[in-house]
Amino acid sequence: MKFFAKVFLLLVGLGCGIAYAQTVPATPTSFQHVVVIVQENRTPDNLFQGLCTSPSICSTTPTTSQYNIQTSNWLDNTQPSGVIQPTSVLLANAYDLSHAHSAWVKQCDLNTTTGKCQMDGAAGVSCSGTCPAHPQFKFVDNSTGTLNPYLTLATSYGWANYMFQTNEGPSFPAHQFIFGATSAPSSADDHGGTYASENMSGTGTGAGCVAQQGVLVQLIDSTGTEDPTNKIFPCFEHQTVPDLSGITVGDITPLALVPSGQPPTRFATSAGRSTVNAREVSG
C-alpha cells in the first residue's frame, strides 16, 4: 500500500485535458485559470479503485497506460504472510483513522538499518468511531457509481497521483504545506527542521491567527521529537505561490469551518502580497 497520504492533488488547467494514463495530444501554450482540487485523508488506493475496471488497468509498477493503484496485497506487518487483502467500505461511514504524527510513524515502520520506511505498519494506526475489522485496509466501493465524479476528474484532467505532502501530520500543518511549502513558524525554523506537526491543543478554540488565547500547536524538531513543552501560538506568516507569481487566489475555506464572526480565509493579492494566516479550523 502506498504512503498513507494526508492529501493528494487534482491539477486542472481549464481548456486543457491531461490525464496521467492518457496520451497528451499537445502542449498547451496558455492558461486562463488553474484549479487545484485537494482531496484530504484518502489515498488513490482507497478512493480510486473504481478506475481499475480490469486487472490490466492498474499496477504498482505502472506503464504510461496504467494507473498506479494497488488493488491487492497491501502490506501489513501483523499478518504471517506480510500482506492483507483490502475489502470495500461505503464512502460515507462512521469511523476515522488517526491523523496524528504518531499514526504516520506507525505506518512508516522505520527500518533502522536502512533508514527507510517499510510502509507495513498501518494496522497500528488507531481508529475511532464505529470501526470495522481491519479499518486501515479498506477501499471505497463504487458499485453504485458514487465515485464517478471523482473518476471523471481523474481521467479528464491532470491527476497528480504521485504527489505526496512533505509533512507527516494532520490538517493544520498539511494546509500550511499546501500553500506555503512549510509549516515552520519562521524561516530560521524551516532551515533548522522545526515544524508545526499537529492540530490545535490547549485551551480555547480556533486555529491559526484567529485562535483564542491559550490555543497552542505542537512543534516537531529535526530529530523527529515532539517535546510536549515545545508548543507555541499557531499564527505563522509564509510566502505562498501568489507571493512569487502574482497569481490571484480566491477563498479556500468552507464557510462552515470559519470561526463565528470571522471571514473565510483569503490569500490577499493586493500589491502581489499574500500571507498564510491559517484561518481554517483544524480538522
The tens digit of pLDDT for each residue in 213-234 reads 999 999 999 999 999 999 999 9
Task: Kindly state the DSSP code that residue 39 receives in the 8-state scheme.
Answer: E
pLDDT score, position 5:
45
> pTM of the entire structure?
0.75
Domain boundaries, the chain: 7-160, 171-272
Pairwise CA distance, residues 283 & 171, whole Å: 6
The tens digit of pLDDT for each residue in 18-43 reads 334 444 556 677 777 777 787 778 88
The answer, yes or no, to whether residue 128 has pLDDT greater than 70, is yes
Backbone angles phi, psi at 154, to 5 degrees: -65, -35
pLDDT score, position 97:
94
Contact 109, 119 (CB under 8 A): yes
Sign, Cα dihedral of 201, 207, 208, 211: negative
Q: 229-244 burial string, b = 16+ CB within 10 Å, else e? A: eebebbebebbbbbbe
pLDDT > 70 in the chain, percent: 76
